[in-house]
Structure 1
Amino acid sequence: MMNGKMDRRGFFATFVKMAGVAFIAPTVLNTVFGSEAHAQKKRGAAPEAAPAAKGGMPLLDPNDSVAKAVKYVADYKKAPEAKGNHCATCGFYGKKDATTGTCTIFAGKLVLADAWCASWNKKA
């Protein structure tokens, strides 16, 4: 390798070293830095529920600050001010499946079709 050319033995030695680094590096990095799930497990925290079951969006939590602000309830029958109205009959609601849908008020979250909030607006 004196004249800038690599011989066959040098090539294979370099190749084996590079392959070893490429194979071992991810394992070492994962061990050193760990994953978020592993870190949560070590802290004793419960892992977040996977929202993938309903197309990647989580179901709206009634304790959400926006939900509380508009008096969101998961069952319209438990809210006398709903007067029989519910999300499935609201203009802001977009049906996703038989029991859930999207709402422009609660962006990125699914709401129950039988829920209600004070922002209910009759469908046009």
Structure 2
Amino acid sequence: MIDNKMNRRGFFKALASVVGVAAVAPTVLNTVFSSQANAQEKRRGSAPAAGGAAMPMVDPNDAVAKAVKYVEDHNKSPEAKGNHCGTCGFYAKKETRNGKEVGTCTIFAGKLVYNNAWCGSWNKKA
């Protein structure tokens, strides 16, 4: 037969656990949510550039760019199959540079990509 009565020691042990979790939870949750918000800001590219300078373009020789097979002209990559950044869900139009549309990409935080570019992470816009 199981005794369902809680003894004094068990009560205080459970109480200490609940109080400990309640004391630590706000700090942990605040840290998690603020770091997620900061990460989203970086992915959107809304973090201001140093000194108010314009955001840089992605360098095709950058390690991340090479890893995702980034090319500045989708016509130069047979893998693109006609897809380009402008039709990708990760792309958001930002401005025009040298007569070409450029925008932010969640793959390349803090940098701009050409609308006509393509990479292996291309994902159909919803």
Root-mean-square deviation over aligned CA pairs: 1.6
Based on CA coordinates, which of the two structures has the bigger radius of gyration?
A: 1
1:69 paired with 2:95, answer no
- Where does structure 2 lack aligned partners over 5 or more consecutive residues? 1-50
Q: CA 1:51 to 1:70, structure 2 compared with 1: closer, same or farther past 3 Å?
A: farther
Which residue pairs with 1:111 in the alignment?
113
Structure-1-length-normalised TM-score: 0.55
Which residue pairs with 1:92 in the alignment?
90
* Aligned pairs (5 A) from 1:43-54: 52=53
Structure-2-length-normalised TM-score: 0.55
Amino acid paired to 1:115: A
Runs (4+) of structure 1 exceeding 6 A deviation are: none
Q: 2: CA distance between counterparts of 1:57 and 1:85?
A: 24
Post-superposition offset of 1:104:
0.2
Amino acid paired to 2:124: K
Q: CA 1:51 to 1:82, structure 2 compared with 1: closer, same or farther past 3 Å?
A: farther
Task: Verify the 8 A CA contact 1:102 1:109 in the aligned structure 2.
Answer: yes
Post-superposition offset of 1:88:
0.4
Aligned length: 72
* Aligned pairs (5 A) from 1:24-35: none
Post-superposition offset of 1:97:
2.1
Task: Verify the 8 A CA contact 1:82 1:116 in the aligned structure 2.
Answer: yes
Moved more, 77-86 or 96-105: 96-105
Q: 1: CA distance between counterparts of 2:52 and 2:66?
A: 21
Q: CA 1:72 to 1:51, structure 2 compared with 1: closer, same or farther past 3 Å?
A: farther
Which structure carries more strand by proportion? 2
Higher relative contact order (Cα pairs below 8 Å, separated by 6+ residues): 2
Task: Verify the 8 A CA contact 1:62 1:73 in the aligned structure 2.
Answer: yes
